[in-house]
């Protein structure tokens, strides 16, 4: 399977949309790093799970499984060239979910979510011997490393206690205009590794509190922070968690990270248990013994972290939420994967990839679930087809028996 990936026509697969609307190769997600992550997850895996790469000589199942994962990843993050979750709560989203457009409080949860309130299952807690999820820490401070790049895009997510940022401002993407580097009144942006715990008058927290502008990322074209009538700007309510909209960013450090966004205290707790410092401290062999995903969830996106980690965190989600998916009505992901492959991998038949998209985007194979329609289904299916074509999977199959040519 790895040889097939190495021989793929991968040059134009992982692309992101630029601020001007064109497309360029992603600078964060590369085919080689993906292969490295695939090798680790297929051989070592996490806990008792490994990436499914096929059975015996029929590794076509594995390539299709991987292609579905990549098609979803291309829609979730690669097309934005982002590792951290973008603030996507624009005016249209607020009409659906409520809240103020682009408030900093969306670090606490977007789309009616509350990331710090994600619960682990009883089974997960039993495995962990009591508690799988990370502990909530109101004093945690953190700033993301990536953000959207369109004109006036909202800045990186951040979290900080109320003593540092008492009121969450919103991002005014329509103004002010920001001078270009070298131009008159150009303002030097805060670096990516900005210390959010800096309480000085020149720190990022003070800049945000004062309604600063034009220093959030480079190159920034327009935009600045502002309060809502002198008060914090509310995020959308999270009715499933019985929470009203947030007007602060205290403890809100659990936004999505990685190629398929790992989000919330439960999922980061799982990473720490199965592949991080907690696992190491409890005597298990883990991939990243020195990384504490509960103390530093941003480790997934740090430029100094292993490049494959962005992929492995996404694979971990895939193993837990998609590859192992079974519905109470008898629908099983693995059965549908094999059925679609055995039927000749007809790209006009979108039943398999649409089901994958439903699971990733809405948590069920047949959305709408919870009243929400699937978002971006056509793009996800097109991505899947693009990856299948790049892998040259169809050419590896006997047209009569639909078995791999070995």
pLDDT in tens, 87-144: 999 999 999 999 999 999 999 999 999 999 999 999 999 999 999 999 999 999 999 9
Task: Please give the DSSP secondary-structure letter assigned to residue 261.
Answer: T
- Check whether 397 has a pLDDT greater than 60: no
**Residue (of 151, 108, 386) closest to 264 by Cα position:** 108
What are the tokens at 315?
Answer: 């694979």
pLDDT in tens, 135-172: 999 999 999 999 998 889 999 999 999 999 999 999 99
pLDDT in tens, 362-373: 889 998 886 677
What are the tokens at 91?
Answer: 């005016």
Cα 26 to Cα 10: distance, rounded to the nearest angstrom = 12
Cα 151 to Cα 351: distance, rounded to the nearest angstrom = 36
- Check whether 400 has a pLDDT greater than 90: no
Do residues 319 and 53 lie in contact, with contact meaning Cβ atoms separated by under 8 Å? no
Q: Which residue has the tokens 């292969």?
A: 35
The reported pLDDT for the residue numbered 362 is 84
β partners of residue 281: none
- Check whether 399 has a pLDDT greater than 50: no
What are the tokens at 90?
Answer: 């624009």
- Domains in the chain, start-ordered, CATH in brackets? 2-83+307-396 (1.10.530), 85-255 (no CATH)
- Indicate the length of the chain as a whole number: 406
pLDDT in tens, 250-273: 999 999 999 988 999 999 999 999
pLDDT in tens, 169-195: 999 998 889 999 988 999 999 998 888
Q: How much is the pTM?
A: 0.90
55 falls in which pLDDT band (50, 70, 90)? confident
């Amino acid at each position: 399977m790895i040889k097939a990936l190495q021989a793929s026509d991968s040059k134009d697969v992982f692309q992101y949309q630029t601020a001007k609307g064109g497309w360029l190769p992603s600078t964060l997600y590369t085919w080689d790093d993906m292969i490295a992550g695939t090798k680790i997850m297929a051989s070592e895996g996490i806990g008792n799970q490994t990436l499914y790469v096929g059975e015996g000589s029929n590794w076509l199942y594995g390539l299709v499984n991987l292609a579905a994962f990549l098609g979803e990843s291309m829609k979730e993050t690669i097309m934005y060239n982002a590792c951290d979750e973008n603030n996507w709560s624009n005016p249209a989203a607020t009409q659906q979910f409520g809240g103020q457009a682009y408030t900093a409080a969306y670090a606490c949860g977007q789309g009616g979510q509350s990331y710090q309130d994600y619960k682990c299952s009883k089974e997960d807690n039993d495995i962990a011997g009591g508690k799988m999820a990370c502990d909530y820490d109101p004093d945690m401070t953190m700033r993301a490393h990536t953000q959207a790049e369109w004109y006036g895009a909202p800045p990186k997510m951040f979290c900080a206690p109320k003593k540092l940022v008492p009121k969450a401002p919103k991002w005014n993407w329509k103004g002010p205009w920001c001078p270009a580097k070298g131009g008159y009144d150009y303002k030097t942006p805060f670096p990516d590794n900005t210390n959010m715990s800096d309480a000085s008058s020149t720190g990022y927290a003070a800049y945000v509190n004062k309604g600063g502008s034009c220093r959030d990322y480079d190159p920034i074209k327009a935009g600045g922070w502002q309060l809502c009538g002198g008060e914090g700007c509310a995020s959308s309510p999270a009715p499933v968690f019985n929470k009203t909209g947030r007007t602060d960013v205290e403890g809100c450090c659990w936004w999505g990270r990685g190629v398929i966004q790992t989000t919330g205290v439960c999922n980061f707790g799982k990473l720490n248990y199965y592949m991080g410092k907690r696992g190491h401290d409890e005597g298990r062999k883990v991939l990243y013994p020195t990384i504490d995903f509960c103390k530093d969830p941003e480790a997934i996106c740090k430029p100094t972290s292993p490049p494959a980690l962005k992929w492995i965190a996404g694979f971990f989600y895939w193993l837990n939420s998609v590859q192992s998916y079974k519905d109470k009505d008898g629908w099983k992901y693995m059965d549908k994967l094999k059925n679609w492959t055995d039927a000749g991998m007809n790209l006009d038949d979108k039943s398999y990839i649409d089901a994958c998209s439903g699971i990733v985007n809405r948590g069920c194979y047949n959305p709408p679930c919870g009243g929400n329609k699937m978002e971006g289904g056509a793009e996800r299916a097109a991505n899947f087809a693009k990856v299948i074509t790049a892998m040259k999977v169809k050419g590896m199959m006997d047209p009569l028996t639909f078995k791999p040519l070995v």
